[in-house]
Structures are given as structure tokens and as C-alpha cells.
Structure 1
């Protein structure tokens, strides 16, 4: 992992694949780090130079003890893109990563070519996120680990408990509580809905047929507000790249490769 300074935090990132291929920047959901994409990396690096980062507060990135904002997290994307010397690139984000990507597309679209928004929303219940923050601050991440996994994945996938799921859970439990709650604050306070019309790059919205956190209707609402956006549903819950990797990669390649 390399590091770049973005504001008050060092952001960890890495590049995989041929630097001569189109650049694809992946942004994680809250509660996961860059390793959550491992299951799809063999397919994606056939087509792209893949840039992954640990979101502020996650993995090897710094975790300042503060409430973060989506614009701050979008600024971390820009810092990594600059460090990776990306002249033009696509962004694919899931959940919080897609919220960051939308903020980036609104505020700093100069180098952005195309956008893929997976399992996300532009508004979530602020009280519920505040309650989650309070629980983590008083009881730690272990208190919400089962809930998080049940929202990330379908019951059948959780029951299989394969190595990919075990890794996601282990990484979740190793997170900085301060970093996690800092990102919770960014979700709690986001105000993206009325800004979506400003996104002018080609956009694909991916939803999960069994996603209870950000259901298909949330994706439809986003697609309706972004000019020309396409929408596609996958047979998965919230982390569709893990549950439906082949269909996930097929959707990305179909949309991003001319």
C-alpha cells in the first residue's frame, strides 16, 4: 500500500493491473476496506488498471477522531487520483463509496469519465445512523457486527460462511471505532438528492434485488435524477460484488468498455 496526505489524514491506496489500460477507481462501503474487492480483481484487471483505497477511517488509512463529510471523503478520492497520476478515470463505488463518488462527480468532475453507483442512496435515516454511532462509541464494533453482516449479505451467503465472508467480518472488527463513526456521520449528514442533476458523466446504477439497506427504489430515485443514467438489478444483497461477482463484473465491463 502507498499513502498520500489528504487534509489531515494519510490515505492508503494501491494500483493493480496494466498501467496502459483504462483506469478504474473502486470505493468501498462503510465497514470494509480495499480487500473487499479481492473476489472480482482477477476479472477486473483483465480490462482495467484498478485503483483501490482504504476509505478514511478504514484499513491502513488514518482515522481522525472527528465527524467526516462526504465532500471531505470525495477530496480523498482526488488526492489518490493525483498520486496515481490518473489523467482520466472511471469510478465505481458501493454504498458509502457510491455516495463519495456522487459527491466527487458533483464537485470535481474534470477527470471523471464514467460513474457506476452500486447499492446506494442519497438519503438515509439520520436518527438511525446517530443511534449506530452511539452504540459503537459505547459498546464497540462487535456490538453491531452481526447486524452489519446481515445487511451486507443474504442469509444464504452468511450461512455458508465462506472465506470471503470471514475476511469481511474480521476486517470489520479490526476497524477503528472512531473512523467508523466518522464515516457514519458523513452518511447521517449527506444532502445529495438535489445535486444529482449536476452529474453530467454517463452513469450506471446497480441495485441488489435483496438489498434491505438501499433497496431498488433508492437506486431508481438516483437514476431518475441523473441525466441519461442507466439502471440494472443484480441477484444480491448490499455487497453485490461478493455475492454475484460474475454478473457484477459483466455489468461493469459492458458499461465501461467501449
Structure 2
């Protein structure tokens, strides 16, 4: 089974920059997008063979997520816990027979860290939510998580310490999540691989010089780590300031305890 996650930074713009070519070529079983930046009815994607689930932000042209899946889920939710909605369209969860898929676009703390406190509360809520799901069946958690967890996960770690996406608080929340029974699939397979980034600034020559951050993840429950086949960062795929990330996993090895 192949799971793909991509912050498209505006699905309507990305479609004009090759989105459907990549979508068709990768042939994912589950394809998650973040930052769709559209409202209901503003785009129709011809994704034959896929069920489509969208979560739109109330604010036009802002945030938003979607999941495209070949298999119809048992249940779909659009919030955390008992709250089945949230204004910014940042989360979609699908329940399948043997696992959950949770697609998230994590709030940015902002350049001046004005949203850091709100971001940390979000992290606590998401961790509690994922932990509760994990007690029922394994979880595949993916999306733009807006944090470079370790120094290896961005080009200029020293000069970015304390900046949004690389504060001790945000990195600590990622550590807390992983310690709660989850695995960063890419680092599980490639713990020391450098230069593996999924986001680059639009500033001139930054992407060409690979001055980037790894802030897009596919995270899975620790008890299904042996089902991981491969994890990949598709750095050559353009169309957004992020590139897609993917996970190949042996669905036959996923068991519900």
C-alpha cells in the first residue's frame, strides 16, 4: 500500500503545474494534500477510482486539507475527539478495517511566534487524539507538520534555532509524540541521511542549492514499524514550495491487537 502526502500550496495552482501527472504516475492507494486553499465547488478533480474527502477552511483561499482514497473508509471525521469540525480545515481522519489515516496541516507559529502558544495546545490535542486512536487500531499520520524535528532536518540549524518551526518547544512536542508510541517512517529507515528536505523558500536559487527543511512526514504506530517497506521524499517534483513524501507499507503485516 502506498500513502502519499503533499502540501500543494493551492490545489488550483498546483493542478496547472503538473499535479495530475504526478498523481497518476505515483498511483497511490491514499493521497493526502494540505493547504488546498479552495472552497467547495471551486475545483473538480478528475480522479477516477478515488473517493474524495475535503475539509475546507471558513476563510477563503486559506489552509484546507483533502484525502483521495481508492478504498471507501468505514468512517470519516473532520476534527479532533468529540469536536467533529474546526474552522481552518486542518484535519481529516479516515477509519479503515485495520488502521486509521489522519491527514493534518499543522498551524504555523508565525515568524514572530505570535501563534506559538496556540500551536503547542494544538500539538497536545493531536497527540492525545492519536494516542486514543492508537489504542483501537494502528495509525498512519501524515501531513505538513511545520517542524524540523532534528538538526539534520534542515540546512542551517544553528542560525534557525528559536525560529518558527525550529523552536525547542515545537521540536519537543514532536519528541513527545514519537515517545507516545509512534515512528517517523523516513528517519526510521534513514536515520543519518542528510540533505533530505521537503520544503524550500521561494527565494532565488534556494531550492536549486537545496537549502531546505524536512517538515512533511508520514508517521506510523510503532507496533507496525515492521510493515514499513520504504519511505521517500520526492524532491524532484515541482508545483509547490513543498514536495511530496510517501510511504510504502505492507498492509498484510498490519494487525489489530
TM-score by length of 2: 0.37
Higher strand share: 2
TM-score by length of 1: 0.37
Higher helix share: 1
